[in-house]
Structure 1
């Protein structure tokens, strides 16, 4: 006789399956020097129940390791090859033979991303995009591989207007040269539009106007679109529907959309408002729940949205702000940055887990001291001077040119100094106060790329 818990699991799986579920995949980036070998990565993917993965190239190690795994793979033709791909089908013939035919069908390649966010490529590759897509498709047909879809991921910056959602439109200088020809290609070949959607960027730039709960897909009052009267309960849905609105404005409302990148960083610089482990877990966890339960958007309620989370690993060689190196669900040692459900079965066994995503906790009894930003600059500066002077805190790492100088803000430097003083004094009572300029926390503070001391 089945246990009540098992019966409940089966019931929930059945309920979720009644609606067509969306799919959840992961982006496997490799801009790092400390990642596990491809065979270990595939083992990790399989252990987590992941059946969809997206690559940024056609790396032999990855495609070989994925052979026979049953994992569906999206590969990419990089931006730097667009010019060659556009100029001659002989190039794409050779490329398809070397990078697709060589692995298919043992490796389950389902789509090719021709370029990535081409419209913002500083090398001006936009004019090559559609000719390259046409040539890649023609080569696939030539070698009896026409079941493999061809598309190209676009960034939301391709939109001229995205708010209110119903006014979504593509940039006028892109419409005739590339957007309409690309959408026509997708329609003709039965493909779909790839879109990279990051509510984090919109939130961190406008945190005074956008609710964090709205950005993290948590419960919130919602936002009513002034143009069509539809109510939006998440920034993600609003951004996706802005793209749908832009497609409809050009009479391509029959095309499907797949979100090929989305995510939230678990760590960021001081000015990257909202970056953090709890928020990353909430966003990705709630988004997985949304996708797997077959939820459509207000504008397209019957269209499930497939998503590829960015990213599988933290990548330590990515340039730019700290957030760029901290989008991973896993550390390079394969430990989870935070725990969220990734499959329908995981979600059904704990239906509330997505909104209560678990974050690894600090060792029992471990605490840190951080600055109280509400104390004001004068009080923080005085306390910082004391901590680094008579207090004996180790402030060398926050001097200009030293490892922990960035983020270069008074609050960040004060936090580092206060914590150094606190740890040096064995976390004694009263050693994290500084006249109200500091307080104790139980999760390790996030400080750019520099680790907080945990004891002396």
Structure 2
């Protein structure tokens, strides 16, 4: 092979690599990094594991300086949460919000790619619900004072929906909380983070919900909603959320799926390694294809799988079996993150 052939071959390889790096959906998948275990790897080992498995993004439920230091210059996108116990102070004290930002964000902002900050996780509905929007506003102001532009939102469970079936009927309960929140997100072009668990819907309604509908394996339409047909429960839940957002004054608010997963054990209905493997691989493939949902075809759905590890300090049962990896970093089952 002469020099010109080598150069052409090298250029082709580089072009091919750039294609794979920029594939739509390649950065749409992340994994939740829970730390409720006394036998988990070091943060440095965890960051290396994310990178070795082509996992683009990490979600943290609360700030941890050891993890944030390990994330410096890693290239991973990071969603950073707040402690629920901090919400009231974040909501009522601009100085506490400034302290939170100056402690947990500013020292890392130049070397950590913060995608979002989430004020609370699954606190709407609940006693802390009214603190969410004021906390978001104070955090945004504190970030602005630090010359940082990081979107701030919150993560909700799907029990925030008073109605979800069929998807076009989706509507929020707790409208006194959700409507102002949605209007704020709409005005500031910030997505709502939603924890979407077809497993929970399936297990709670067994046998009325079909397993193939929950696992992305149905061969045809299972639920018809007007002109739209649904073959996966995941899409149905996401579209019910979009319907609720429209009715609450947020027709342009996007959804980020901040949690979705399936337990591989714990003794409950459907909690098996085979089902977990099927669900999570199909979920990742579905998101990476950028097919969207019936209501939002072709729309990228940024999604975070729950969770990186089996965590032994969670409540006994399925809660301890959502991990893709064991604490020794061996796979619970094989999952493919490569687009």
User: What TM-score do the two structures reach when normalised by structure 2?
Assistant: 0.92
In structure 1, the residue matched to 2:251 is 253
Does the 8 Å CA contact 2:182/2:248 hold for their aligned counterparts? no
Aligned equivalents of 2:113, 2:303: Cα separation in 1: 18
In structure 2, the residue matched to 1:162 is 164
Matched, 1:44 2:49: yes
C-alpha distance after superposition, 1:396-422 (max 9, x if no partner): xxxxxxxxxxxxxxxxxxxxxxxxxxx
Change (3 A) 1:18 1:24: closer
Matched, 1:34 2:68: no
Does the 8 Å CA contact 1:22/1:291 hold for their aligned counterparts? no
Q: Pick from 306, 309, 314 the counterpart of residue 310 of structure 2.
A: 314
Structure 1 position 225, deviation (Å): 2.8
In structure 2, the residue matched to 1:425 is none
Aligned equivalents of 1:53, 1:343: Cα separation in 2: 16
Change (3 A) 1:154 1:131: same
C-alpha distance after superposition, 1:371-414 (max 9, x if no partner): xxxxxxxxxxxxxxxxxxxxxxxxxxxxxxxxxxxxxxxxxxxx
Change (3 A) 1:305 1:103: same
In structure 2, the residue matched to 1:305 is 301
Aligned equivalents of 2:23, 2:119: Cα separation in 1: 34
In structure 2, the residue matched to 1:406 is none
Structure 1 position 250, deviation (Å): 2.4
Does the 8 Å CA contact 2:91/2:135 hold for their aligned counterparts? yes
Q: Which runs of 5+ in 1 are unaligned?
A: 345-456
Q: Pick from 285, 289, 297 the counterpart of residue 281 of structure 2.
A: 285
SS in 2 for 1:114: strand
Bigger Rg over Cα: 1
Does the 8 Å CA contact 1:31/1:317 hold for their aligned counterparts? yes
SS in 2 for 1:83: helix
Aligned equivalents of 2:85, 2:289: Cα separation in 1: 38
Change (3 A) 1:36 1:16: closer
In structure 1, the residue matched to 2:234 is 236
Does the 8 Å CA contact 1:79/1:116 hold for their aligned counterparts? yes
In structure 1, the residue matched to 2:94 is 89
Structure 1 position 20, deviation (Å): 6.0
Aligned equivalents of 1:338, 1:72: Cα separation in 2: 24
Structure 1 position 22, deviation (Å): 6.5
Q: Pick from 142, 147, 151 the counterpart of residue 149 of structure 1.
A: 151
More moved, 242-251 vs 281-290 = 242-251
C-alpha distance after superposition, 1:87-145 (max 9, x if no partner): 11111011100110011121222210100001244xx1111111111000111111111
In structure 2, the residue matched to 1:212 is 211
Does the 8 Å CA contact 1:263/1:310 hold for their aligned counterparts? yes
In structure 2, the residue matched to 1:193 is 192
More moved, 193-202 vs 107-116 = 107-116
SS in 2 for 1:74: strand
Q: How many residues align?
A: 328
Structure 1 position 17, deviation (Å): 6.5
C-alpha distance after superposition, 1:188-247 (max 9, x if no partner): 322111000000011011221111111000133322334x23110100000000000111
Matched, 1:323 2:318: yes
Change (3 A) 1:20 1:49: closer
Change (3 A) 1:12 1:202: farther
Matched, 1:333 2:328: yes
In structure 2, the residue matched to 1:397 is none
Change (3 A) 1:113 1:304: same
Structure 1 position 164, deviation (Å): 1.1
Aligned equivalents of 2:231, 2:36: Cα separation in 1: 34
In structure 1, the residue matched to 2:137 is 134
Q: After the TM superposition, which parts of structure 1 deviate over 3 Å for at least 4 consecutive aligned residues?
A: 10-22
Structure 1 position 21, deviation (Å): 5.8
Trace 1:284-433 onto structure 2 (pairs within 5 A). Answer: 284-319=280-315, 321-344=316-339
Aligned equivalents of 2:104, 2:250: Cα separation in 1: 31
Change (3 A) 1:18 1:50: closer
Structure 1 position 249, deviation (Å): 1.6
Does the 8 Å CA contact 1:24/1:309 hold for their aligned counterparts? yes
Q: Which runs of 5+ in 2 are unaligned?
A: 7-11
Across the aligned residues of Structure 1 and Structure 2, the Cα RMSD in angstroms comes to 2.1
Matched, 1:109 2:114: yes
Does the 8 Å CA contact 1:22/1:304 hold for their aligned counterparts? no
